[in-house]
Amino acid sequence: MAHLIAPSLLTADFGRLYEVIELINKSEADWFHIDVMDGVFVPNISFGFPVIESIKKLAEKPLDVHLMIVDPDKYIDTFKKAGADILTVHYEACTHLHSTLQKIKSAGMKAGVSLNPHTPVHLLEEIITEADMILIMSVNPGFGAQKFIEHSYEKIKKLKKMIFSTKSDTLIEVDGGVGINNAKNLIKAGVDVLVAGNSILSSENPIETIHKLKTLS
């Protein structure tokens, strides 16, 4: 499978959000990546339901929604109604992760699990076949435009081996400090989905940057 590109809206100019959405619609990007923060699980607050609903009305590609919130089970159905196509929860925020994944799937969405930089991948052994996607955080969650954590490559390689050994179709997504300088190595390590925000939206030509990321091999 060719790798996917999911531009993150976290670093977008919210005053120009319509323009950014139209830009991504016209590009070779595959998904919109939306980071939802509650100010509790991470020290920041971002998109709420009305904003996601507005994005869904304009977006011509799936919404990849990443929840950095406590007790995500409370809001699964609400995120589905708001327009999420893929819903990713944090391992660290879920007491009953298997149950949470089943609820997401029952609501009609793809189910993802995210790991913070300090969380080892072996903790996913019992649920790897239940997840449609694993999101490796290559920065500490909460803010955009952070420096890539180099140890992430080893986590990705370990995770890829786990996926192969279980004959799972689980995708690997990476988010944080992703750009032209490291995207090729991430793909070689086993990444299927590249999330990039600052490196795309702060570039002189975002559509061309997306094209370069998409055509790496």
Mark out the alpha helices in 31-175 (DSSP H runs). Answer: 49-58, 76-82, 97-106, 152-165
Say which of 30, 38, 64, 175 is annotated catalytic.
175
Enter the tokens of residue 190: 């086993």
Residue 64 known to be catalytic: no
Which strands make up the sheet holding 193-196, listed edge to edge? 4-7, 193-196, 171-175, 133-137, 110-115, 86-90, 63-68, 32-37
3-state secondary structure of 137: strand
3-state secondary structure of 94: coil
Amino acid identity at 162: M
- Distance (Å, whole) CA 1 – CA 36: 28
Residue 35 known to be catalytic: yes
Say which of 35, 64, 132, 192 is annotated catalytic.
35
Task: Give the residue carrying structure tokens 């954590």.
Answer: 149
Mark out the alpha helices in the chain (DSSP H runs). Answer: 17-26, 49-58, 76-82, 97-106, 152-165, 180-189, 198-201, 206-214
Smallest CA-to-CA distance from 42 within 117, 151, 120 is with 117
**What are the catalytic residues?**
35, 175
